[in-house]
Structure 1
């Protein structure tokens, strides 16, 4: 297959009318133009240009090739504006993936961004799989562990703490546990059948808990906890609104059952497309503020 440089040398000769002018147009030497033309003619198996001492003339093969060579040049000239448009425009599709529980924090932020940037076609994919932004064709994803991949950037968002909560009605009826060991007498709503609580360097494990429901979906656990079915192990940001409204109360304050970092992950790109930068500038501070407020026990509305 002929190289673009060889075809462009031929096109420049036809357009400029001489090796000297073609070399100036291409920013190379006359000998380089001649070598590229010879290579093209050899590749195609035809003489393309007739050379005389006074002028150049295209052969029939050269005349038939010329429209294709001109189209190649025009296509190449349009490449930079096309890339500039993609890099600079705040428009087009942008896909974000997150866990089910985090989606309720992220969705209002994305809705606000969509109002401010109507050119963006935002899509929020919600699932609990650990996703790879490159393999799954995602622009951004929220992950609960740091990545060790040079092709990805992981921007820290904050920390999530899982702790114990219960409805006031349940606690009034069943009593307040004062120590981790007393949880064995309560109905637990949690993911898994083993509960380990931490307070500083102190660890306490319940070796034979009897959970009311072993469920790996926090939203279901929150619903059951709000309905007074037991003590739920819930992430702080999920429990915070009900805690603030008095629908839930913290059980065993100071103890937590888990704590993990959260990251916003995206493919490594420099320079970043403009819509990426707009997304990061808008979403990062808001999502960080929500997680930080939940961690401190004062969750604001995600819209602020």
Structure 2
């Protein structure tokens, strides 16, 4: 008996209390479509008395009669018919909106991705066709730059970043690791000779980075100790693809991530030097984003999950001996 009274008890909102207009409209539409309070009550899993109170409260708030009640049937008034027609449209639009912004259904909409030139070209671009086949409702906006951008200012949903991340409010998802190797073109090595020890680099052109966060030296492991070789001032760039192109053209040596040089090493267009002195340090590759992991749009989460599953993790391995000089 107490349960029935609790289900029936739907008092009018107290002064200043917010009215649940959605529930009122939804209940009225169900009553009108089903033709009875009892049928609507069964669908809503409440008592007929509770449904009657909701409709009565709606009528009182609007100041019009929506239903004519008799012992045998319910009949819509003109105002009730108008509310039914427009109310059904409003409810359908609301359900469509909820589906679009929650996790339900196929991920859809625009995802903006920012990445460095090398990560974008070498890791992301090859994955785009499969990503769009798996999620055909997605739209991608790709921006590649080696400058670290502010995700909010750039309106980016995801940024792919290599190396250690500074402390920030962004959330990072680790995609994998990569080793770094020192590479040169065969033509450059024929003309300038192959360095046998780290100190030999002093007589070679070393291509480095010119942005403020760049490390101004290359690390080596010499007899169990780390040794740093200064970059020098001969040639510096701010773009990974430019650095790769300069090495391929024979301009000098560069320290590239293994994923960046992989295809050139496989084909023989580049060779690895000083691998016996490689520290073996692994650099992380992250997908970073702003927001709480449990509250991401379905489209952003779908891209993050795809990248986590498909970014090649083989770039942390030692290079084959055949790639070394």
* Structure 2 length-normalised TM: 0.68
- Counterpart of 1:230 in structure 2 is 252
- Counterpart of 2:234 in structure 1 is 212
SS in 2 for 1:288: coil
Q: State the 1:215 CA deviation.
A: 0.9
Once the two structures are superposed, residues 49-91 of structure 1 have per-residue CA deviations (whole angstroms, 9 ceiling, x without a partner) of: 34566655544433432322343455567678x66x9845487
Q: Structure 1 residues 108, 12: CA separation in 2 closer, same or farther (over 3 Å shift)?
A: closer
- After superposition, the CA RMSD in angstroms is 4.3
Q: Structure 1 residues 127, 184: CA separation in 2 closer, same or farther (over 3 Å shift)?
A: same
- Counterpart of 1:260 in structure 2 is 283
Q: State the 1:112 CA deviation.
A: 5.0
Distance of 2:138 and 2:299 partners within structure 1: 14
Distance of 2:244 and 2:111 partners within structure 1: 30
SS in 1 for 2:65: coil
Distance of 1:220 and 1:78 partners within structure 2: 47
Match of 2:84 among 61, 66, 78: 66
Deviates more, 1:158-167 or 1:14-23: 14-23
Match of 1:158 among 176, 196, 203: 176
- Counterpart of 2:12 in structure 1 is none
Q: Structure 1 residues 187, 12: CA separation in 2 closer, same or farther (over 3 Å shift)?
A: closer
Once the two structures are superposed, residues 162-215 of structure 1 have per-residue CA deviations (whole angstroms, 9 ceiling, x without a partner) of: 3322233333443333433332332211114821413286332345x4332111
| 1:95-114 to 2 correspondences below 5 Å | 96-105=113-122, 106-111=124-129, 114=132
- Counterpart of 1:288 in structure 2 is 312
Q: Structure 1 residues 286, 17: CA separation in 2 closer, same or farther (over 3 Å shift)?
A: closer
SS in 2 for 1:163: strand
User: How many pairs were matched up?
Assistant: 290
SS in 2 for 1:211: coil
Distance of 1:73 and 1:247 partners within structure 2: 62
| 1:1-304 to 2 correspondences below 5 Å | 3-51=21-69, 56-75=74-93, 87-89=104-106, 96-105=113-122, 106-111=124-129, 114=132, 119=136, 123=140, 124-128=142-146, 129-130=148-149, 132=151, 136=155, 138=157, 141-144=159-162, 145=164, 154=173, 156-192=174-210, 194-199=216-221, 202-206=225-229, 209-253=231-275, 254-255=277-278, 259-265=282-288, 268=293, 280=305, 284=308, 286-292=310-316, 295-297=317-319
- Counterpart of 1:301 in structure 2 is none
SS in 2 for 1:296: coil
Once the two structures are superposed, residues 204-229 of structure 1 have per-residue CA deviations (whole angstroms, 9 ceiling, x without a partner) of: 2345x433211121221222222222
Distance of 1:66 and 1:17 partners within structure 2: 12
Q: Structure 1 residues 117, 247: CA separation in 2 closer, same or farther (over 3 Å shift)?
A: same
Q: Contact 2:26/2:91 (CA < 8 Å) preserved in 1?
A: yes
Q: Contact 2:206/2:235 (CA < 8 Å) preserved in 1?
A: yes
* Structure 1 length-normalised TM: 0.71
